[in-house]
Structure 1
Amino acid sequence: MRRILLLLFMALAVVLPTFGQQNTVNAAIDATELLVGEQTVLHTTVNCNAGARVKFEGKKGENLTPGVEIVEISRPDTLLLNNGKRWQITRNYTLTSFDSALYRLPAIEVEIDGQKVQSRGEIALKVNTIDVDVQHPDAIRPPKGPVDGVFEWNGLLFLYCLLAWLALAACIALLLRLSAPRKHNKVIVLPAPKPAHAVAIEAIGKLQSTTPEDAVAQQLYFSQLTDILRTYLHERFGFNAMEMTTREIIEQLQKINDREALLELKNVLQTADLVKFARLSPALPEREDSLLRAVDYVRQTQLPDSDIPKTIKRLVPIEQGAENRKRLACWLGLIASVAALFALLFHLCSTLWLLLF
């Protein structure tokens, strides 16, 4: 007797867990009564062991039963139970019917690990027709014919197109700017300085307004006059006349100036040498004559107006910190322009799709 009880206990220990872990299929419907053409959802729930191969029956467009059509089938939704040891899989079937009747929906059959399991219980679905007033048939309006769609351009579309072109132009301009080699120097344009002859004539005019009263003042007067001429010669002909004697200056200019102009300059410089070194004290007419000769020489040897530059170009170094900030601003502008371009194109495409299709 004890041996029989032990065998029964062992058999129950093996069989009961098996019953506790069996596969089940349950089905429930949202609405059991609907009008022709309306839809309802049939919920199918499968409980099985984790890792089981589950295969649902039925396809979209098929009839679940004659007169009841499967409109849509959702994707399976899996829920883990018992610490992942069990699965609860839910799949929904959207049903409809166009014939009024009382339908008995068949059991939902699911294949689990090669074994077919059916849902329990029966589900009835009643489909009702729409009440029609047959006594007043004139009240029933016929179906309307197709209506021609009117396509109208939205004014904002043109604005979006313009903004898209502007964003594209900004992208191209910034790409060209960033692809250009980095500059270390830049050229600046400055107004040309006053020409040498104008400076010399202006300085001689200021000197003419002064009147030397003694020998020292006479020497200073003619020293200033020769300095004006030497500065003019240096800027006009390019040799260092400030460090040269009168004889050296004349010899240098014999290759450049004509004889008449050179004679006037020679008289002015020789008179200035006599005043500075021989203490000659010229009278007012002689001083005026020296000034006039100096002005005549400057005017005879000045550059033509066509050869006088109006502006000058100067190469200056570029601060690299400022250049880096400019390139960073260009990169940020490029990113913003590309983002704006894609946003505008997406909006344009979606709007045109809605309008055309």
Structure 2
Amino acid sequence: MRNNILNRLCAVLIAVLVGSSAMAQVQVTSKIDSLQMLIGQQTKIRLEVTLNKSQKAIFPEFNDSVPVAEGIELVEKEKMDTAYLNDGTRMRLTQNYIITAWDSALYSIPEMVVKVGNQEYKTNRLVLKVLSIPVDTLHPEKFFGPKPTMVVPFSWDDWAGIFYVSLLLIVVVVIIAYLFINFKQNKPIIRRIKVEPKIPAHQKAMAQIQSIKNVDASVDSKDYFTKLTDVIREYIKERYNFSALEMTSGEIIAKLTEMHDDKALDELRDLFMTADLVKFAKYEVVIDENDKNLVNAVKYINETKIEETLEDTKPKVIIVEETKTKKSKYFMLAAMVVLAALSAAGLCYIIYIIYNLYN
């Protein structure tokens, strides 16, 4: 009988000790930053719960229907802060409530209830004194009515960035639209090439002969006749379309005879013969022969030239159509993507500047 009583007493004592140790594992405290404040000011209630890492705490929720206290308004519930203790086995949870009040009074903030597992824990009561704003009733002349709305003067510096970015944005949008239309329609690329008319062979030859006239043949006859025959060879090459520059004088005469072009051929033969004698046989010519050969060259060019029509002397415009290749399409698509990104960035910049101007 005595043993049964002792066993029961031990069991009760163990239960009490276990329960008290479990309660000691959870600590709940609350404090307020300011014990007093003016109407409309804000203060903060700090609710701290220390518990084991494996435990979960449920903090009180406040709203219009469930106020912190009568006459006290909850402004904001901040994000909960968690700090780990004792090598991570325990943790401290801190929940901040920002509150305000709009009537001057002494407020009693009731106990807050935190639930950990199946157990509820209550905090201590808090007191908050809200003071009214002191008014100097002895000097009513110091009270002023509402001030009129101030008109902010226009400043170009504030809008310059928006203006220039907007202009750039319009240009970019037009380019995107142009690229998109061309990309969708798949029209060929049209190029207009202006071709200047080719200088006729006889005009080119006559211009070169004019420069040869200024050369003194008596000083260097070989150089004089070399230049003169080179002009004629170049003219024959362009006029008759064969390689006169690479042929001998006899081969040129034979080729022209074969082509049945006998115009001024005797004069040309005399010119080539005199030039060959000067260049290879060191033949000395007199002034009259130089003039005669120059006249023969001019006569041959005038008798064999092809007259150009007025239409042939006008510049021509050649229109070339090219189909778009895959490479050009990819380039257009990439250009549109880049320009679209620039447009989005410009639009965001404009919105950001306007927001800062009005806020």
Question: Common fold, TM-score beyond 0.5?
Answer: yes
Over 3 Å counting, the alpha-carbon distance change for 1:43 and 1:296 in structure 2 is: same
Equivalences, count: 309
Aligned residues of 1:36 and 1:130 also touching (Cα < 8 A)? yes
Partner SS, residue 111 of structure 1: strand
Cα distance in 1 between the residues matched to 2:150 and 2:63: 32
Aligned to 2:186: none
Instruction: Among all aligned residue pairs of Structure 1 and Structure 2, give the percentage whose two residues are the same amino acid.
Output: 23
Q: 1:162 aligns with which of 161, 164, 172?
A: 164
Please list, as runs of the form range in 1=range in 2, the aligned pairs for 1:145-294 lying within 5 A after superposition: 147-148=148-149, 150=151, 153-156=154-157, 157-163=159-165, 165-166=167-168, 196-198=204-206, 200-202=208-210, 204-205=212-213, 209-211=216-218, 225-241=228-244, 242-243=246-247, 245=251, 247-251=253-257, 254=260, 262-263=263-264, 265-270=265-270, 272-273=272-273, 284-294=287-297
Q: Which amino acid aligns with 2:80?
A: P
Cα distance in 2 between the residues matched to 1:105 and 1:223: 121
Aligned to 1:316: none
Q: 1:100 aligns with which of 98, 104, 126?
A: 104
Over 3 Å counting, the alpha-carbon distance change for 1:47 and 1:252 in structure 2 is: farther
Aligned residues of 1:203 and 1:228 also touching (Cα < 8 A)? no
Aligned to 1:84: 88
Over 3 Å counting, the alpha-carbon distance change for 1:17 and 1:45 in structure 2 is: same
Q: Which amino acid aligns with 2:218?
A: T
Query: Can you list the C-alpha shifts for 1:196-233, whole angstroms capped at 9, x where unaligned?
Result: 314641464256x21399xxx79x97676444422321
Q: Which amino acid aligns with 2:355?
A: W
Unaligned runs of 5+ in 1: 180-186, 311-326
Cα distance in 2 between the residues matched to 1:65 and 1:271: 127
Over 3 Å counting, the alpha-carbon distance change for 1:19 and 1:25 in structure 2 is: closer
Root-mean-square deviation over aligned CA pairs: 4.9
Unaligned runs of 5+ in 2: 184-192, 316-330
Aligned residues of 2:229 and 2:275 also touching (Cα < 8 A)? no
Over 3 Å counting, the alpha-carbon distance change for 1:339 and 1:161 in structure 2 is: farther
Query: Can you list the C-alpha shifts for 1:6-65, whole angstroms capped at 9, x where unaligned?
Result: x689779856753542x2210011111222222221111011222433222132555321
Q: 1:59 aligns with which of 58, 62, 78?
A: 62
Name the TM-score, length of structure 2 as normaliser: 0.65
Q: Which amino acid aligns with 1:269?
A: R
Q: Does 1:118 align with 2:122?
A: yes
Over 3 Å counting, the alpha-carbon distance change for 1:232 and 1:95 in structure 2 is: same
Cα distance in 2 between the residues matched to 1:225 and 1:144: 103
Q: Which amino acid aligns with 2:205?
A: H
Aligned to 2:320: none
Aligned to 1:35: 38
Over 3 Å counting, the alpha-carbon distance change for 1:249 and 1:236 in structure 2 is: same
Query: Can you list the C-alpha shifts for 1:292-339, whole angstroms capped at 9, x where unaligned?
Result: 1212333452775975799xxxxxxxxxxxxxxxx9xxx9xx99x999
Give 1:106 shift. 0.5
Q: Which amino acid aligns with 1:150?
A: V
Partner SS, residue 231 of structure 1: helix
